[in-house]
Each structure stands twice: as structure tokens, then as C-alpha cells.
Amino acid sequence: MRRSAAGSFPGTLLVAAFDFGWGGAGKVHLILSELPGVHAVGVGSTLTRRLLGPTHIDDWIGENEEEIREYIRCNDVRAALVVGHLTVARTLIDLGLPVVFVDSLPYLWTANDMLPLDADVYCAQLCYALPSLCWPVMRTIQKLRWVEAIVPQRRRGSRGGGGAVVNVGGLHSLYSAESGDRYARCVLPAVLTGIQRAEVPVTAVCGNFNEDLVRMIREHVPESTSVGRLLPHEFNAAVGNAEVLFTSPGSTTILQADALGVPFVLLPPQNVSQILNAEWLGPPGNEMSALRWPAHLFDLAELEESRPHGEEHALAYIYRVIKEVEASPDTATEFAAVAEQLARQENRQTPGRHGRMLGRRGAHQVAQYVRQMMLAPPRSPTRRSRSAHVE
């Protein structure tokens, strides 16, 4: 349990993040780093609980509504910071708690998604474009505030030549089932083989791996290579010291590498948001800095047709592609060859362009909103109506 600096803030801040990949935990880490001394209590989230460890969180409670209500009743809870966790955000708002909600994927949503439109502050991370599918829901957010990219601050002279870091993130979502493991099996052995053929050492393979996956990965890397989960500050250090980052296209990790000045190569996408991330945050123009699903298996037009029916339908299509790729030895050979080629390139992609367009001070900006909520006079809890769906 972490000990807060007494007296820095009155009361307690509840904190929650989505269990979809590693981005939620990374953003919580960066935002709370801007709030030294806050007494933070985490809500639910098995994966985020493992990733954050004791660095910023003093205690944990479950995400059951009755447990949250009882905790609020018995403690001086002033506000909540929620990163992407729609269910917990809705519960806390309905219980009358001031909520700062952070949305790093504003370009993903459709009218079918239950967003916390009535959050006290809805912080949407700046992005390059908003597809028309997003417009109906985004225009109904009551207190929308656009914030810059939530990324670590680059320390001058911190770059190193520490080989390649390979990252596949959380490998988990509400609908993923065994598809996360399949993704790791069909991508990682080939990519690791290709990188090492290029005589680039692999210093870390990061992901939410079970024991079977760890054993599989160990067969393809030296004993000195770190394999598995890293806490956010450990991941920042590993990426910052890397020569190159091979990563599945999570927006948090792409922007993080860009902010730290580390060239990156994109692995094939695991979900809908990563497809959009690869399009907007990936290599500009015709620059080849990405591995892609085979064109005969993955059809972007077919995926787009499924999106208006909801995220579950779109994910089902992607997971079907992953299953077919796993059964294709030719794809593994192709992935290894492309990874070797990209590992040999001296200038795989020039980092820094996203920071120039999207900024780098998002963590500080969100923290300022949280600070305002924590220092405001306590609000008397009143249950709100559940009216956050766009018709």
C-alpha cells in the first residue's frame, strides 16, 4: 500500500481504468504522477490492479455498485478519475460523485455506445479526425473538454541503444476470449525470429501473458530478455532505452514512443481501435513501418460494414481473421521476413510528429480538472437518472 503525503488534498479520489489493453493503467499512472499526495483508491479492474501495483494506489475496492456506495457513505470521497471504464463511470455518476472521465478513443464510438455523457468533465484526447459515425454521440457530451496527448515527458539525453522492445499489451477485452492468446501465438514467434535475424537484440517482450505463452516466448529469446507484464514506469524506461519498439497499435503506446523519441514498427491490429490507430498514428504516406494482416484474409471494407452494428460484431470479424492467420504457416514466414527488414532499417520512422500536432501535456491538463474537483466544496450525493444513451 502506498502512503500519501498527508494534507495535500482533502478526502479521497476514486480511480478506475478499463481492462482493455494497457493504455488505461498507463494513463492513470501519468495523471496521478501530476497529483502528488492525493489519496487514491482504485475501483475493481483486475488487469489494471496488476499493472499499477502500489505505485499510486493506496487501496482497492470492487466495482460492484453496492460496495462502491458503501465506501462513499463511510469515507470522505471527493471525486473520481475514470479512464475509459464506461460501466464504473456510469455507476459513480449515478451515485452523485463528481467524475472526470478520460476518453482516449473519441474516434471509436457510435450511437450504440453507452458513454457517460453527463460526466462533470469529459476529457477527450485530441485526435486527427472524427469519423461521421462518432458525430451523433460526441455532440451530445455536456461538458466536453479536449486535452492534449497523455504521454510521458521526454527527458533530455534519456535515449539509449537498448535493442528492440516488442509489445502486445493487455491481450484482453470483453469479447476476446482466447483470441488474445491466438494473436500472441501467430505474431510473436515470427516477429522475434525476424528481429534476431537482423542481429538486433530483443531486450523485452511485453504483454499480459499466461504461463504457456511465457514458455513459448522463452523458446525464441535469450534468457536475459524480460518477458511479461511491466509496471507503467518500468515500461516507460524500457521503451525510452530502446533502439526500436515493435508494438501492436495501441494509441497510448504509439504516442508514448513518439513522445520519448523512439522509432516504432506497428504489429498487426488486435481490435477496431487499433485499426484506426494504425491508420492515423502509423507511418505517413507510403512509408513501410508496419506488419499487416494478409490482404486475402482481412478486408477493411467488410469490417467497416460491421461497425454500425456495434463493437461486438466488428471484433468478431477481426478475431476470425486472427484464427485464420494462426492456421497459415505462409503468414508466419512473411511476418518474419518483414520484421527482419524493418529491424535492419536505421530510420524506421521519425518520432516526434504526433507531439507537434497533438501536444504532450494531456496528463497535466486532466490533473488540473481533478484538482479542481478535489478542492471544491463537497457535493451532497444525489442519485442521477441513467440517461446517457444516444437515440
Task: Look at residue 374 in the predicted model and tell me its pLDDT.
Answer: 96
pLDDT at 212 over 60: yes
Q: Which helix (H) or strand (E) holds 99?
A: strand 99-103
Question: In whole angstroms, what is the distance from residue 152 CA to residue 354 CA?
Answer: 13
In this prediction, residues 120-137 reach a mean pLDDT of 92
By residue range, what is the domain housing residue 94? 12-148+361-375
Same domain, 23 and 112: yes
Torsion of CA 312, 315, 317, 319, to 10 degrees: -130
Task: Look at residue 16 in the predicted model and tell me its pLDDT.
Answer: 94
Same domain, 188 and 256: yes
Confidence of residue 347 (pLDDT cuts 50, 70, 90): very low
pLDDT tens, 163-209? 999 999 876 655 555 677 888 999 999 999 999 999 999 999 999 89
Task: Look at residue 348 in the predicted model and tell me its pLDDT.
Answer: 60
Same domain, 113 and 65: yes
Question: In whole angstroms, what is the distance from residue 46 CA to residue 231 CA?
Answer: 14
Same domain, 367 and 246: no
Q: Are 123 and 100 in contact (CB under 8 A)?
A: yes
Per-chain mean pLDDT for the chain: 86
pLDDT tens, 218-237? 999 999 999 998 888 889 89
pTM assigned to the model:
0.85
Same domain, 42 and 130: yes
Same domain, 23 and 101: yes
Same domain, 321 and 182: yes
Confidence of residue 3 (pLDDT cuts 50, 70, 90): very low
The residue that leads in pLDDT, 389 or 374, is 374
